[in-house]
Amino acid sequence: MSKPYTGGCACGAIHYEIAAEPIAMNDCQCRDCQKTSGTGHGSYLTFPSRQAVKLEGQATHWDMVADNGNVKTRGFCPACGAPVYLTFSYMPDFFTIHAASLDDPDRYQPEMVTYTQSGLGWDQVDPTAAKFETMPPM
């Protein structure tokens, strides 16, 4: 394993350290991610176990219903509003962070683009990444 993944919100009130390797790195072009990121897609790293996550600070949570009918919870800083992480009711062990929240965002290397069916013409994502119209099977 490489060094832990560290990061947090813009103001420093929330910080994480993850002693694991991500199982997926993806750009998501769904409308939810467009709206919550304020741009054409969200960029994420998903880790297989919450047990590997050390989280400091108190996030505010917002539950949304995903297109599969399950709940996804977005964690963001109540002070600066920066999005930090997501969790999923149907995959309770997974922990997903926003790539821009990393202390070293260059560690993010997108492997796939999901929800290309909602992609915006002006949103240029990595042309070499695998593309999926919706979410591929996990």
Q: CATH number of the domain that 64 lies in?
A: 2.170.150.70
In angstroms, the CA 79 to CA 75 distance is 12
Model pLDDT for residues 17-47, shown as the tens digit of each residue: 999 999 999 999 999 999 989 999 999 999 9
Of the pLDDT bands very low, low, confident and very high (cuts 50, 70, 90), residue 68 is confident
Number of Cβ within a 10 Å radius of residue 87: 18
Q: Give a yes or no: residue 48 inside a domain.
A: yes
Q: Quick one: pLDDT at residue 66?
A: 81
Question: How far, in Å, CA of 84 to CA of 64, rounded?
Answer: 15
Identify the helix (H) or strand (E) that includes residue 34. Answer: helix 31-37
91 occurs within a structural domain: yes
User: Which range marks the domain in which residue 62 is found?
Assistant: 5-27+41-110
Domain assignment present for 23: yes
Instruction: Tell whether the model's pLDDT for residue 71 goes beyond 90.
Output: yes
Phi/psi of residue 31, nearest 5 degrees: -65, -35
